[in-house]
Structure 1
Amino acid sequence: MLRILVLLYLGCEVTQCQKTCGYYNVTDALGVLEGSPRLIYLRPVKDWREPTYVTLDMTFRSVLDMDEKLQTLSSLMDIEMMWENQLLSWNPEEFCGISRVSIPESTVWIPDIYISETIEDNSLDVLFVHLYNNGTMQQTKTLNILTTCSLDLYKFPFDAQKCNLTFGLSTNPVNDVILASGFNADNITFLSKAAFTTGEWSLQNVQVFPRNVSKNGETWSKMIYQISIKRAPMMYVINLIIPACLLVLVDVASMFIPMEGGERLGFKVTVVLGFSVLLLILNDFLPNTDIPPILGVFCMVCLVIMIVSIIDSIFIAYMLHLSAVRPEVPHWLKLWVLKRLAFVLRIPTKERQLGSNILGAENTVVTEKAATLRELESSSSKQVTKEFKASIEIKLLKKLLRELLMVRQHLIVTKQEEEDKSEWHMVAFVLDRFILILYLITVALIAVIVVVVWAA
C-alpha cells in the first residue's frame, strides 16, 4: 500500500513538472499573450520617475549605393537594442530552467527608435523579441535604409566621406528613456569591418557620439553613429582620368602637325569633341555644388586650353592666307612677334634689313642696266641711221640681253615675294610655339595642383 502511494506521488510530481516545462507555461504565467494594454502601451517600470536605459549597438554591414547627385546613401546594418522590463520576470527553477523565451513584438512595449536621416526604409519587419528571466529584453533587426549624407566631392574620385546616422526617440524624452551604447567605437569598428562587404567603398571606422538635444522645452536622448568610408578610385582612374590625360597628350602632340593645310584644325576639333564626351560622363557623377571637384576644374581648364589652341590654329591659317594676299608683314607685328616675342622664346629669326638692302641694290643695278641698254639702243639706232645698216648679230645680242634682264628682274621680284611669305610663316611659327609653351605650362601646373590635392 505504501509502495502504491509513493508511485502515485512520483507520478504527480512528474506530471506537474511536464506541465511547467514549456515556453507556453512561462508566457501564460506572465500574461504576455493576453494582449494587455499595460504591457503594450506603457513604459515597463514600477516607478515612473525611474528612466529606462536602452542599450543600442549598431554593426555597419554594407554600402549598397551612393548617389552623388541626390547626396543619398543606401546602406545595410544590424542594430541590437536591450532594455529592462520590470513587469516581466520569473524564476527559471520553476519552469525547468527556462531562462529565455521569444515573444511577439506586438505584445510588449518597444522603444520607438528612429533614424533622423532616413528617406526610405526597406527593412523587413521583426516579429519577435527575446525576453530573459531577469526582465531584460533584446531586439535584433537588419535595416536596409536610404539616408541623406552631405558629400564632400572636392577630391573625387580619391574622396572619403563621413555620413551620420542619428538614432533618437519620438515620444519619450530623456527623463523617460536614455540611449546608451554597449560597445565603444573600437569594438563597433572591429565588428563592422568583419561583417562589411567591400565594393566601391571600404569602411574606415565608426565613431559613436551620445548627445542630448533640447526641443520644445524638453531634452531628448540621441545616439550619433558617424560612418567613415573611402571610395575605391580604380574604376574612375581607368575610365575617366587616363582617357582625359591621353586626350590632352594627343592635343599637345597635334601642335606639331604642319601649319599648312587644314589637317591640324580638323584633328583638334575631333579631340575637343571626344573630351566633351568625357565631361558629360563626369557631369553625371557630380552634384551641382558651389565647390566643384578638382577633377572637374582640371578638365575644364584643359578644355579651355584646347579651345584656345583651336583659335590659334584658325588665326595661323588666316596669316598664311595673308601671305598670298598681303605680302608685306605689318611693322608692329614684326616688332612684337619677330623681335620681342621671338627673343623671349629664344627662336632665331632672319634679319630682313640686310636682304632688303641687297634687293634694293640689285634693283638699282637692274635699273642702271636697263638705262644703259636704252642708251645703247638709242646710240646704235643713230649709228644705224648714219650707216643705214646693222649687222644681224648685234640685233640678236641686243634682244638676248633684253630678255636676260627681264628674267633677272622677274627672279628678283619672285625672291622678294618668297621672303615676304617666309616672314608670315615665321610670325605664324613664333605664335604657334608661344601657344604650345603656354599650353604645356598651364596643363603641367593644373596637373601638379590636382595631384597635390589628391595626395593631401
Structure 2
Amino acid sequence: MVWKNEFISWDPNDFCQIHRVFVIGETLWRPDLYIYEMTETFSDSIDVLYFTIANTGYVSYSAPLRIISNCNLCIYKFPFDTQKCNLTFGPYVQPIRDILMLPRQNSTEINQIVKEILVSKGDWTLETINVTKETLYNAGEYYSQVIYEITMKRAPVVYVINLIIPSCFLVFLDLASMYIPTATNERLSFKITVILGFSVVFLILNSMIPNAKDVPILGIFCCVCMAIMVFSIFTSIATSYMHTFAETQQEVPQWVKIWIMKYLARILCFRLKPTEKNLIAVVIDDKNSVLGIKSEAETELRDKSRGTLKQDRAGLDIKLLKRLLVEVLKIHQQIVLQTLRNNEESDWHFAARVVDRLALIVYYIIVIIIFAILFVVWAS
C-alpha cells in the first residue's frame, strides 16, 4: 500500500541525490487497513518493519501475507462449478473523509501480473480478477473500499474419474440386471451387490463435497439413482413372490386379473391371454360336440340293431365304441382340469412379466430424465 505524507519531503539535490530511504515505521502514521473477509491470521507470517519513503512524501509498505478468508460457495454444479470470492480492502475505523481508497492497478494489469506469478496446486484454475472501488455506508458514516473479485474454476478431472464414471457404470450395471430372469434369485442377489457398491460411492462423495448450504446436482443424482435401485429391488421381490405363488398353484386374485393382466398388460403392449371363462366355454362346446356325435352314433346303431337283430357282431362293436367314448371323455376331462391348473400357474408368470416390464420402463424413464437434467445443468 502507498500513501502520501504531506509532512515528509526533501530536495534530492540537497541530500546527495537521495531519492528514497528505508526507515522503521514505528513513529510514522500508517493507514487503518483491514481485509474484511479475513477469518484467521498466521503467526508464521513475515512481519516487515521497514517503510520506504520517497522524496516526494509518498510512503509505501510491502509485506507478504497469508490469508484465510471466507467465501460464499455455490456448489450446485459441483464438480463443474465456478466460484467468485471477494477480498475487500478498506479502513476499519476511519471514514472516507480521512482515507480514500484507490486501486493501484486496473483489472487488466492485475490479471497479467497474477497469471505470471500464480502457483496453483491444480485443484482450481484462476479465471479473472476484477477490481472495483466501492463505498460502504455504516452507522451514519461512509467508508472507502477496494474490492478484488476473484473468479476461480474447479478442476473436475479427479471427481469425474472417482465419482461420476463409477456412478454411471453402477447405474448401467443395475439397469442391465433387469434382464436377468426373475424365476431365480440371481437377480436379487446381484442387485444387492450393486447397491452396496453404490453405497461406497456415496461415502466417497460425502468426503469430497465441500460443506455448503446448497445441495449439488451430483448428490441429487446419486440419491435418485439409489432410490430407483431400491425400487427395482422391491419389484424383483414382488416378481419372485409371484413365481412362488405359481409353484404353489394358488388362484390368481380377481384384481390381479383385471388391473395387471388386462389393463396394465394392454398398456405395456402384451398379447392378452384368453380368460378362463372363454377357455371353459370352448371346452364345453367341444364336449357337447363329442356328446352329440355320441348320441347320433347311438341312434344310428339303435336303428341298425332293430333292423338287423341277427348281426350280433355289430352289437358287440357298438358296446365297444360306447366304452371307448366314455374313456375318451374321461381323458378329455382330465386334460381340461390339467389345463386349468397350468393356466393358473401361467397367469402368475404372466402377471410377473407384466410387473417386471413396468419396472424396467419406469427405470429407463427415470434414468433418462436424471441424466438429461444432469447434463443440462453442467452444460449451462
Same-fold call, TM > 0.5?
Answer: yes
TM normalised by structure 1 equals: 0.70
Identify which of 345, 351, 368 aligns with 1:421. Answer: 345
- Asked whether the equivalents of residues 51 and 59 of structure 2 are also in contact (C-alpha less than 8 Å), the reply is yes
Q: State the Cα distance separating 1:240 from its structure 2 match.
A: 0.6
Report the equivalent of 1:174.
Answer: 96
> Which blocks of at least 5 consecutive residues in structure 1 are unaligned?
1-80, 369-396
Counterparts of 1:156 and 1:366, CA distance in 2: 76
Report the Cα offset of residue 403 of structure 1. Answer: 9.0
**Is 1:312 matched up with 2:232?**
no
Q: 2:31 aligns with which of 111, 120, 124?
A: 111
User: How far does residue 445 in structure 1 lie from its aligned partner after superposition?
Assistant: 0.9
Q: Quote the residue 2:13 is aligned against.
A: 93
Q: Structure 1's 438 and 211: CA in aligned 2 closer, same or farther, altered over 3 A?
A: same
Change (3 A) 1:282 1:118: same
**Structure 2 Cα separation of the partners of residues 426 and 236 of structure 1:** 44
Q: Does 1:299 align with 2:222?
A: yes
2:75 partner amino acid: L
1:203 paired to 2:123: no
CA distance in 1, matches of 2:370, 2:30: 57
Greater Rg over alpha carbons, structure:
1
Return the offset for 1:216.
Answer: 2.8
Q: Which amino acid aligns with 1:215?
A: N
- Quote the Cα distance in structure 2 between the aligned partners of 1:448 and 1:308: 20
Q: 1:418 to 1:367 in 2, by over 3 A?
A: farther
Separation in structure 1 between the aligned mates of residue 33 and residue 280 of structure 2, nearest angstrom? 94
Alignment of 1:198-347 (within 5 A): 198=120, 199-284=122-207, 285-287=209-211, 289=213, 291-347=214-270
Give the Å deviation of 1:127: 2.4
Aligned partners of 1:269 and 1:366: how far apart in 2?
A: 56
Give the deviation of 1:298 after TM superposition: 1.4
SS of 2:61's equivalent in the other structure is strand
Aligned to 2:301: none
State the Cα distance separating 1:433 from its structure 2 match.
Answer: 0.7
User: Are 1:443 and 2:367 an aligned pair?
Assistant: yes
- Structure 2 letter corresponding to 1:120: E
Structure 2 CA distance, aligned partners of 1:352 and 1:286?
59
- Does the 8 Å CA contact 2:5/2:57 hold for their aligned counterparts? yes
Please list, as runs of the form range in 1=range in 2, the aligned pairs for 1:35-114 lying within 5 A after superposition. 81-114=1-34
Residue of structure 2 in register with 1:432 after alignment = 356
- The structural deviation recorded for 1:130 is 1.5
Contact 1:104 1:127 in 2 (8 A): yes
Fraction of identical pairs, as percent: 43
Query: Contact 1:105–1:126 at 8 Å: present in 2 too?
Result: no
- How many pairs are equivalent? 348
Instruction: Report the CA distance between 1:303 and its aligned residue.
Output: 1.3
| Cα displacement string for residues 69-88 of structure 1 (whole angstroms, at most 9, x for unaligned residues) | xxxxxxxxxxxx11112233
Contact 1:210 1:222 in 2 (8 A): yes
Query: Which stretches of structure 1, 4 residues or longer, exceed 4 Å deviation after superposition?
Result: 358-368, 397-412
- Which structure shows the higher strand fraction? 1
Query: CA separation of 1:398/1:169 partners in 2, compared to 1, >3 Å: closer, same or farther?
Result: same
Instruction: Summarize deviations over 1:22-63 as a string: whole Å, max 9, x none.
Output: xxxxxxxxxxxxxxxxxxxxxxxxxxxxxxxxxxxxxxxxxx
Offset at 1:366? Answer: 10
Distance 1:367 1:262 in 2: 48
Deviation per CA, 1:286-317: give whole Å up to 9, x if none: 4352x422111111111111111111111111
Structure 2 CA distance for aligned equivalents of residues 141 and 404 of structure 1: 110
- Helix, strand or coil: the match of 2:109? helix
1:14 match: none
Q: Give the whole-Å Cα distance in 2 for the aligned partners of 1:144 and 1:109.
A: 24
Equivalent position SS for 2:48:
coil
* 1:209 CA drift (Å): 2.0
For the pair 1:194 / 2:116, whether they are aligned, the reply is yes
CA displacement, residues 230-278 of structure 1 (integer Å, 9 cap, x when unaligned): 1111111111111111111011001001101211111111211222222
**How many angstroms does 1:204 deviate by?**
1.2
**1:217 deviation in Å?**
2.6
Letter in 1 for 2:58: T
TM-score, length of structure 2 as denominator length: 0.83
Q: Which moved more, 1:240-249 or 1:315-324?
A: 315-324
Report the AA paired with residue 354 of structure 2: V
Distance 2:60 2:194 in 1: 63
Distance apart, 1:143 and its partner CA: 2.1
CA–CA distance in structure 2, aligned partners of residues 399 and 140 of structure 1 = 121
- Alignment RMSD, CA only? 2.8
Equivalent position amino acid for 1:152 in 2: C
